Amino acid sequence: MMHREVSTQFADRIAYPVIPAFVVAGSRDRVGGMLAAWWTQLSFKPLLFGVAIAPERYTYRLIIEAGRFSINLIDFKYVGQMPYIGDVSERFLKGKISKAGFKVMWCDEYNIPYIEEANAYMLLKLVDRSRYGDHDLFIGEVLKIYADETFEDGMWNLSKYKPIMYLGRSKKPKLVKRVYVTFKGVDKVELEFAGGELKRYSILRYDILNELREVYRRYRDPTSSEFMSKATEILKRYNLDKEDLKYYIEELQRSLG
């Protein structure tokens, strides 16, 4: 396979297509929102999601002021409304979400706005914000998640839900266009988790973790001689590098507290 060098100006395009999050925040007086292509889950315990937002965005200000926000996922049938959400600011076009044809709803329990037409939405409280280059990473802890009937048995039914996926935008001097895609059909493949010859390696991984968890729960102090002795014995039995222990300890502390 032959490869050619690609300009770093297209670095984000290499990671596309992505399903953009419709991020919504604000007060009862004014709600704004934007499409965020750079978002991801960060943790299970606690359940954290991160969204990268530039300071110029009005949503940036709204999240800081409210301390809460929602992440909404929208079906492709609404793709024609995306310029309202992704291309213009609430700072200049007041009420742009309603002008786009979406209805803002409120979760009274947490006082967080969300989009009624969303196939799913998550309600989050802001727990951290850190600067990374020209964007800040807003980290939210998930309070509640809601989804419609297109989310079945813990997975999307992609014959019913067609997510909006973002492929990038063209650059000047040509007419600038954003490119959104979805699919008409799905090639679905289901593979056994660590099946066949991989199963023993998967079992081995979890056996080691479970043994170390039991030792950690017993002694709680990973610096104690009792813990170190038992944990080192486990690693030696499985022929693991003793340097691995510090990484296992980090895992145990994060997952078990």
Tens of pLDDT, residue by residue over 186-224, are: 888 888 999 999 999 999 999 999 999 999 999 989 999
**pLDDT score at 256:** 87
pLDDT tens digit sequence for 16-43:
899 999 999 999 999 999 999 999 999 9
Is the pLDDT at 6 greater than 90? The verdict is no
Asked if residue 124 and residue 28 are part of one domain, the reply reads yes
Provide the 10 A C-beta neighbour count for residue 57: 19
Number of domains in the chain: 2
Residue 249 lies in a domain: yes
Asked if residue 159 and residue 240 are part of one domain, the reply reads no
pLDDT tens digit sequence for 46-89:
999 999 999 999 999 999 999 999 999 999 999 999 999 999 99
- Whether the CA torsion 79, 82, 86, 87 is positive or negative: it is positive
**pLDDT score at 173:** 81
28 to each of 55, 98, 106, 113, how far by Cα in Å?
22, 14, 9, 9
pLDDT class for 169, splitting at 50, 70, 90? confident
Provide the 10 A C-beta neighbour count for residue 72: 24
Asked if residue 200 and residue 175 are part of one domain, the reply reads no
Asked if residue 81 and residue 170 are part of one domain, the reply reads yes
Asked if residue 217 and residue 145 are part of one domain, the reply reads no
Where in the sequence is the domain holding 90, given as residue range(s)? 8-181
- DSSP lists the bridge partners of residue 18 as 166
